[in-house]
Copies of this chain bind each other. A is one copy, B any other.
C-alpha cells in the first residue's frame, strides 16, 4: 500500500468509526502522545484529547445521531505529516473537512479535525464517489 493509500485509509477509518458510532475506534485513530485539536462546525477549537473524545461521544450518542458519508478525499504528504481534505454529507448538510495525520510507526494517527460548511459536494463524478458510507 502506498503512503497516500495508507493516509486515505486512515481517513476512511475515521469516518467509518464516526458512521459506526464506534468511540473505541475513534479513540484508536486519534494520536495519544501528540498535541491534538478538533473544530466541529460552529464550535470553538478543542485541544484536550479527553474533551475531543467526549465531543464525539456527545455528537454520535445523541437521540438523533447524524449519518455521515465521506466524499472526494484528497491527500497530501509533507514529510511525516499527512493532510486530507474531504467532503462530509451529514444530516442533509455538506461540510468540508481538513484532517491532519502524523506518521506513528506504521500507521497514520489523527492529530486534527476541522469541519465547516461547504457550498456543495464536488461536481466531478470521479471525486464524488463516497469513500465511507454507513
Contacts and interface: CB of A to CB of B under 8 A. Distances in A.
Interface residues of A, number: 33
Q: In the complex this chain forms, how many copies of it are found?
A: 2
A28 interface: no
A76 interface: yes
Interface stretch (A12-20, A58-66, A118-126): A118-126
A116 B117 contact: yes
Contact of A114 (B80, B114, B119, B120): B114
- Which secondary structure dominates where chain A touches chain B? strand
Contact of A100 (B74, B83, B120): B83
A37 B122 CA distance: 15
B44 A120 contact: yes
A70 interface: no
Interface string A37-76: 1010111110100000000000000000000000000101
Interface of A: 34-35, 37, 39, 41-45, 47, 74, 76, 78-81, 83, 85, 87, 96, 98, 100, 102, 111-112, 114-120, 122
Given A45-B85, A115-B116, 12 more contacts: A34-B78, A37-B76, A41-B116, A44-B118, A45-B118, A47-B74, A47-B85, A79-B81, A80-B80, A114-B114, A116-B116, A116-B117
